[in-house]
Amino acid sequence: MSFELLILGSSSATPAHQRNPAAQVLTFNDKNYLIDCGEATQMQMQRYKVKAHRIDKIFISHLHGDHYLGLMGLLSSMHLQGRERELTIYCQPELKDILALQFQVSDTALRFVINYQFFTPGTEVLFEDEQIRVIAFELNHRVPCKGFLFCEKPRQRNLIIEKVQNAGIPLDFYQELKAGKDYCDNNGLVFKNKDLTIDPPASKSYAYCSDTLYQESLIPILKGVDLLYHEATFMHDLLDRANETYHTTSLQAGQIASKAQVKKLIIGHFSARYKDLNPLLEETKSVFAPVYLAEEGLVYNF
């Protein structure tokens, strides 16, 4: 299994230069996770053929408009398109009030249930199943704000099928072999797991840091992830402005990626002042080379 990340929005607060506010879809094991939902996310989903009915979990990092204003429209469209399956939104508690007020005023009784799971302070596991664990962690922004870490769980070991068959291991022990166990036959003869299986591919991980001050406390959380999305609202000559607005510069995003030894970095959340984004990319590259710009519509596989 692999992750696929589709960027739907790459602008910061004010959309500009055909760039839309924050939204992205992470696909893993045939499930779509929507991460942030800025204005016009549903239009971007249509443009890039993302099926709304395949989204069951939505993660909203914080309640600045450029990260959630598309949610009401998306939920309304899901309703009008006949959705009945439950949906979970991971968010700050106030989002429920905002949505509830708007549904009430528009006299809308949703056909599907929204489960709200509110963030608690600190680092927490938001959800996990057999394949994935999703963790929320604190960012440092002007309002409460969370980053998200999506970790694939360790995969099963791969059987060396010829050796397994030669050793006469019964079929009903194969799952345990895959889980790493040795096999002991009726005569007490032990077959070591390491002789019958090979390591699975390494588990993958993705981290999302939406809006935050440069924050070295993030390094242990982001350590070694396969892909890091980190905001880079300003270039480093506007460090004062970045600090004042609780944002990161393109240089600092590279520094975090470098210090956390991530494999690849995507920078996004670009200020409207930058029409040409290459200077931001070059600035990040000066400290961390495997970096890409968040380009709307592009899919990053990893």
29 binds a copy of itself (CB under 8 A): no
Binding test (CB under 8 A) with a copy of itself, winner from 107, 130, 162, 276: 107
| Least distance between a copy of itself and beta carbon 71 (Å) | 10
Residue 247 sits in the site that holds a copy of itself (CB under 8 A)? no
Per-position DSSP letters for the chain, written without gaps between them: --EEEEEEE-B-SS-BTTBPBSEEEEEETTEEEEEEE-TTHHHHHHHTT--GGGEEEEE----SGGGTTTHHHHHHHHHHTT--S-EEEEE-THHHHHHHHHHHHTT---SSPEEEEE--SS-EEEEE-SSEEEEEEE---SS--EEEEEEEPPPPPEE-HHHHHHTT--GGGHHHHHTT--EE-TT-PEEPHHHHEEPPPPPPEEEEE-S----GGGHHHHTT-SEEEEE--B-GGGHHHHHHTT--BHHHHHHHHHHTT-SEEEEE-B-TT-S--HHHHHHHHTT-SSEEE--TT-EEE-
Query: 70 or 254, CB closer to a copy of itself?
Result: 70
Active site residues per annotation: 66
Is 230 a residue that touches a copy of itself (CB under 8 A)?
A: no
Instruction: Single out the segment in contact with a copy of itself by CB under 8 A; choices: 13-21, 185-193, 229-237, 248-256.
Output: 13-21
Contact call for residues 146 and 207 (beta carbons, < 8 A): no
Our CB check for a copy of itself shows the closer of 69 and 298 to be: 69
| Least distance (Å) between residue 293 CB and a copy of itself | 20
| Pair of tokens at residue 92 | 């700050």
Q: Report the residue from 84, 86, 94, 216 that binds a copy of itself according to the rule CB under 8 A.
A: 94
Q: Is residue 13 close enough to count as binding a copy of itself by CB under 8 A?
A: yes
Task: Tell whether residue 91 is a contact of a copy of itself (CB under 8 A).
Answer: no
The footprint of a copy of itself on residues 59-88 (CB under 8 A) is 63-66, 69-70, 72-73, 76-77, 80-81
The answer to the question of residue 151 lying near a copy of itself (CB under 8 A) is no
Which of 113, 125, 143, 202 touches a copy of itself by CB under 8 A? 143
- Return the C-alpha torsion angle 72, 74, 80, 85, nearest 10: -100
- State which residue, 80 or 184, has the beta carbon closest to a copy of itself: 80
Which of 3, 7, 10, 21 is the binder for a copy of itself (CB under 8 A)?
A: 21
- Judged by the rule CB under 8 A, the positions of this chain that interact with a copy of itself are 13-16, 18, 20-21, 39-40, 42-43, 46-47, 63-66, 69-70, 72-73, 76-77, 80-81, 92, 94, 97-98, 101-102, 105-107, 142-143
